[in-house]
Amino acid sequence: MLDLEFMRLAFGAGIVVGLLAPAVGFFLVQRRLSLIGDGIGHVAFAGVALGYLLNLPLVLTALAVSIAGALSIETLRARRTAAGDQALALVFYTGIAGGVVLVSAAGALNVNLFQFLFGSILTVTRSDLAVIAGLGAAALLLIALLYRLLVAVVVDEEGARVAGLPVSLLNALTAALAAVTIALSMRVVGILLIAALMVLPVIAAARIAWSMRSTMVLAMGIGLASVLTGITVAYYADLPPGGTTVLVAAAAVLVAEPIGALRR
């Protein structure tokens, strides 16, 4: 399997996304924003459509539009002009509707789009992998450096604000990290399933972990194992890799539940 270059590239991209998605998702789950990944995913769809229309690299347009969408959700939420779920709904549906209109204008309502909706990890190129690995490593490094501050905000947001931490900046950064993760993960699991890879490993890890730090590390391990298992099973059983990966992650939650119950 690994003597095929497209499989090596697939595993390379999968490793980065498998580690990054739960690391970012960890902070979203703690802040009860599990579904924000879904919202940004729909916005990323509009970004892909914009790329088709303007004939620009799709990952870059998806990245730019996702970051813009993520920051607007965060701004609406922070200013309390809309409740968290309403802010999400607004951006969510504007994204998907904008995407449909743009993609139809570009005359690209065809099978190519499926690659982005459901993932196409087997078509990752060397230059794709370079972008995914570079941005992914930078995002993971940023999370490692800011870990304590990000934890201080998720543990007690108002307490952190009163104590003088730059809470708004850190929240905007978390939203931007989520957008970057989604733009990078589109090829691996697809826009419709990326949120699952950010959230399910964290839910599984929280069942069995004994601290915040162990939850995060375990979630990254489960994310990585899910992607590697998903790609391998998909290769031998001729299944779609994105969907298979997410099913493995969902299975991890089901396995973690009784283990956690035994420990308690």
Partner 1 sequence: MSFAYGHGPLVLRDVELEVERGEFVAIAGPNGGGKTTLLRLVLGLEEPASGQIELAAERLAYLPQRAQAGVDAPVTVRELVAAGRAPRARFLGPLRQADREAVREAIERVGLETQADRRLSTLSGGQQQRAFIAKALAADPELLVLDEPTTGVDVEAQESLAALLEQLHRELDVTILYVSHEFGAVERFVERIVLVRGEVVFDGAPADLPGVWHDPSHAHA
Binding site for partner 1 (CB under 8 A): 26, 29-30, 32, 145-146, 148-149, 151-152, 155-156, 158-165, 202, 206, 209-215
DSSP secondary-structure letter at 96? Answer: H
The residue among 79 and 148 lying less far from partner 1, judged by its C-beta, is 148
Asked whether the beta carbons of 163 and 90 are under 8 A apart, the reply is no
In order of 109, 135, 171, the CA distances from 228 in angstroms are: 31, 20, 31
Q: How far is the CB of 163 from partner 1 (least distance, A)?
A: 4
The residue among 137 and 145 lying less far from partner 1, judged by its C-beta, is 145
Q: How far is the CB of 35 from partner 1 (least distance, A)?
A: 14
The residue among 126 and 161 lying less far from partner 1, judged by its C-beta, is 161
Q: How far is the CB of 164 from partner 1 (least distance, A)?
A: 5
DSSP secondary-structure letter at 32? Answer: T
Which residues are within 8 A (CB) of 104 and not within 5 positions of it... i.e. 6 or more apart? none
Side-chain-facing half-sphere of 22: CA atoms under 13 Å: 28
In order of 68, 79, 147, 161, the CA distances from 166 in angstroms are: 20, 16, 14, 7
Q: How far is the CB of 21 from partner 1 (least distance, A)?
A: 17
> How far from each other are the two terminal CA atoms of the chain, in whole angstroms?
41
The residue among 121 and 196 lying less far from partner 1, judged by its C-beta, is 196
The residue among 103 and 196 lying less far from partner 1, judged by its C-beta, is 196
Q: How far is the CB of 1 from partner 1 (least distance, A)?
A: 36
Q: Calculate Rg over the CA atoms of the chain.
A: 18
